[in-house]
Amino acid sequence: MPGQVVLEYSYLLSAIMFVIGLKLQSHPETARKGNFWAASGMILPMITTLILNRNGAGEAIGMGNVIAILLIIAAGTVVGSIMARKVKMTAMPQMVSFFNATGGAASAAVALIEYTKNPDQAVLVGLLGLVVGSIAFSGSMIAYGKLDGKVGDIFAKFMTYVNLLFMAVIVAVILLVLFGGFDAQTRTYLVFGLLVISLVYGVSFVMPIGGADMPVVISLLNSLTGIAAAMAGFIYQNEAMILGGILVGAAGTILTLQMCKAMNRSLINVIIGSFGGGGASHADVQGSIKEITLTDAAVLLSYSQKVVIIPGYGLAVAQAQHIAHELDSLLGSKGVEVKYAIHPVAGRMPGHMNVLLAEADVPYEQLVEMDDINPDMPNVDVAIVVGANDVVNPAAYDDPGSPIYGMPIIDAHLAKNIIIMKRGMGKGYAGIENFLFFNDKTRMLFGDAKGTMTKLVSEIKSM
């Protein structure tokens, strides 16, 4: 049928648009355009499906269903637009987690609804969609709570065994539903039990994961949401859902593995290792805390040749990205070379710092990844650490008893001078002492990052 052919081609075109969108999102200058392409790739199959899709009897979607679908889409569009416009950049990780949760919930709902329509046709792909979608939903909601400070961590070794038990039970229930030979009512009880176990497991598997691993968790949950969407696509035999889900799942998996590499940890170690927040350094901290005045900091920066700014979550909290760009522009006008050192897991979401600095119109060429900036750190006159903590902590090199031991860091300690901007002596997201604070080359500039940098800019201008 011509309509069916057009529908299939629209799905193919949608997949191509997704790929183009992903490609464009790989660079800040084209990321906005990439979002447009990806969004258009999602809208296209929604429209063609409403118009051209036919059921097994060749019947089109009923007008009542079309109206209901359009109303739901309109409601979701309005709510999503309001949330996106109101969310602060500091809360972007929470929003990503929330969106992951809704995607997982939708996929799980599809699997459950389709099963209840025909309980005699339980298939593996439907059960996997239910399980993965449920885990993505509950796990993402817990991640949201952790990032927002509403949910604490459970650091206990027994949680590893609890999670392994949940996984074994989930596999066992799936096998019973598929091959147990039970009647439809018993299978239905088992399927709803599978839903409950999967939801609980999503909570159980995220709860022990500490703050330092949250960027990896967000990426992993995003991958699970994509996989769940692909499963829903298989249920409906919808190529657009399958391709979109596979792309999201694959991209999330690749990013997750990159995050793990950046932290020198295996994915399994992240999931069951209870990393961050509960750990403590076992080494004795040597040295003392030394402060620097605004005037001395202004003089030091003005007469430097190379300055590296190392941003972290504290910069996001203080909304200091714009004043940071003003500082780097001011120093640049004095002939100082200024770069930003970006750690792959700085902040609480992959790419968090890149997005913040792009919002402040910092040129992309000034953002330098950790592996590229580290060889040049011994030649840097001043390293300014703004709100970063764990990603510059030399305990990663020096303290075998530290939870972050072995994690690649930005080598701020190798710079000739180090200025650390912090409100106080609080610990980072991993909950451990930062050895860099006690380095002989380190000077602390206490205060709110935005306020302190504003005063620093004024001091430099007055010189």
Task: pLDDT tens for the chain, 463 residues: list them.
Answer: 577 788 888 988 998 998 899 888 877 778 889 989 999 998 998 899 888 877 665 677 778 888 988 999 899 889 988 988 888 777 778 888 888 899 999 999 999 988 888 777 668 888 999 999 999 999 999 988 887 778 776 666 777 788 889 999 999 999 999 888 888 889 999 999 999 999 999 998 888 876 666 778 888 888 999 999 898 888 887 888 888 899 889 888 888 888 787 777 677 766 664 544 444 444 455 667 889 999 999 999 999 999 999 998 888 878 888 999 999 999 999 999 999 999 887 776 777 788 888 888 888 889 999 989 999 999 999 999 998 888 898 888 887 777 777 888 999 999 999 999 987 655 555 557 788 888 899 999 988 888 899 999 999 988 7
Q: Give 62: exposed, middle or buried? Use CB within 10 Å, 0-12, 13-18, 19+.
A: exposed
On whether both 299 and 239 belong to a single domain, the answer is no
Indicate whether 40 belongs to any domain: no
What amino acid positions are annotated as catalytic residues?
390
Least Cα distance to 289 among 443, 432, 426 occurs for 443
Residue 37 counted as domain residue: no
304 and 235: one domain?
A: no
Asked if residue 186 is part of any domain, the answer here is yes
End of a domain among 220, 244, 278? 278
* 63 domain-assigned: no
Asked whether residue 228 falls in the same domain as residue 142, the answer is: yes
Q: How many domains does the chain have?
A: 2
- Does 258 share its domain with 354? no
- Predicted TM-score (pTM) of the model is 0.79
312 in the same domain as 259: no
Query: Is residue 190 located within the same domain as residue 333?
Result: no
Residues 202 and 338 both lie in one domain: no
Q: Are residues 183 and 300 in the same domain?
A: no
> Same domain for 98 and 239?
yes
258 located within any domain: yes
Of the three residues 278, 304, 327, the one that is the final residue of a domain is 278
Domain assignment present for residue 394? The answer is: yes
In a domain, 259, yes or no: yes
Residues 328 and 386 in one domain: yes
- pLDDT for res 282: 44
Identify whether 234 is part of a domain.
Answer: yes
The whole domain housing 162 covers: 90-278
Q: What is the pLDDT of residue 96?
A: 85
- CATH number of the domain that residue 416 is part of: 3.40.50.1220
| 8 Å CB contact between 158 and 93 | no
Q: Are residues 270 and 304 in the same domain?
A: no
Q: Based on the fold, state whether residues 208 and 345 are members of the same structural domain.
A: no
